[in-house]
Amino acid sequence: MAKQQQQAEDTKEETQGPVMINLYDGAMQPFNGQALLNIQNGRDFHMPAIDVNKPNISIALPFHNGLGDEYSIVVSAKGYRDAGYFAKVNPHVVSVVKLVMIRKEPTFKFLSWQELTSRYPLITQFLSTGVDQSTAEAHYIAVQKTNPKALACLLNLTVAMSEIDLAGKSPLTFFREICWDNTMAQDRFFGFVDPAIVPAVRAEAERGAFAEETTCAEFHPGSTHSWKQIAFDVANVQLTFHENNKKSINGLPCVMIEPDIDDYKNLAAHGLLEVLPNLLTGGLTDPTGVYALRWTTAEDSGGPSFDPGYSLA
């Protein structure tokens, strides 16, 4: 009888999976504001919204040993955008979800060029592509003042591209020039690259790291080829090439590249459009949303933390 009772208790315990939700602000510090937590699995569970006032929330969710074990976790707070991600529960493992709470009107906190050089040499090395340090610094300061979202986008893409492996090289190594002009936007920038990058990306696509966008010219006028990274459910880099737009740089015939980051791998990816609707602007991709999504994804995958060299207040 005692053995049967113990088995029953063990079974009861295993019908729930522990989840730890950690909240951070735009500076990646613990979020201590008042917030509202919503959890559902899209099937048979929708927890009534609960108030939370601490950055670390421990809960237990029903375990089905099936499709119902993936839950959407959404946190709302006054003055902030909703933050959300997914947790797959397991009775034997604590599922950890890390979310970034970003103000609806965030303030960008950029480092000085000197601080950026000291702490993020890879970034300043890339921003100096084709120019000397003083010119790169002038560009950095000018865009910071006139179009901070464009600078945030450029920094996001710099770090995201640095993590892509093209047969031992990152896309950054192929750049010969960055277009510091009015084409630099909050969702993309343009530059000129060694054309050897095109077959390098194509080769990685054949190995399953990228998916080709065969109708790229419809969305990127003048483009000839485009591949999107498919490593993550969210915030993947897309590399679009305009091979008919050429420029000779130090004797090398370079082609134009247009990197950007899409919020979602596909419009139906895990139903994220329903879970994170206000990370979409209805127009251009918001670099702060990319920042939050990419950081959360990096934390979820256990890879290196996504740190683009700026913060939000």
Report which of 146, 40, 134 is spatially closest to residue 89, judged by C-alpha positions: 40
Confidence (pLDDT) at 197: 98
pTM of the model: 0.85
Confidence (pLDDT) at 285: 81
pLDDT per position as a tens digit, 49-71: 999 999 999 999 999 998 889 99
Confidence (pLDDT) at 106: 94
* Annotated domain spans of the chain: 2-100, 108-312
pLDDT band at 265 (very low <50, low <70, confident <90, very high): low
Q: What is the mean pLDDT of the chain?
A: 89
Q: Is 249 exposed, middle or buried (0-12, 13-18, 19+ CB in 10 A)?
A: middle
The architecture CATH gives domain 2-100: Sandwich (2.60)
Please state whether beta strands 70-76 and 83-88 pair in parallel, antiparallel, or not at all (unpaired).
antiparallel
Question: Cα–Cα distances in Å, from 258 out to 68, 89, 103, 107, 129?
Answer: 40, 39, 29, 26, 16
96 close to 22: Cβ distance less than 8 angstroms: yes
SS3 102: coil
Cβ-Cβ contacts under 8 Å for 47 (sequence gap 6 or more) = 37, 38, 39, 40
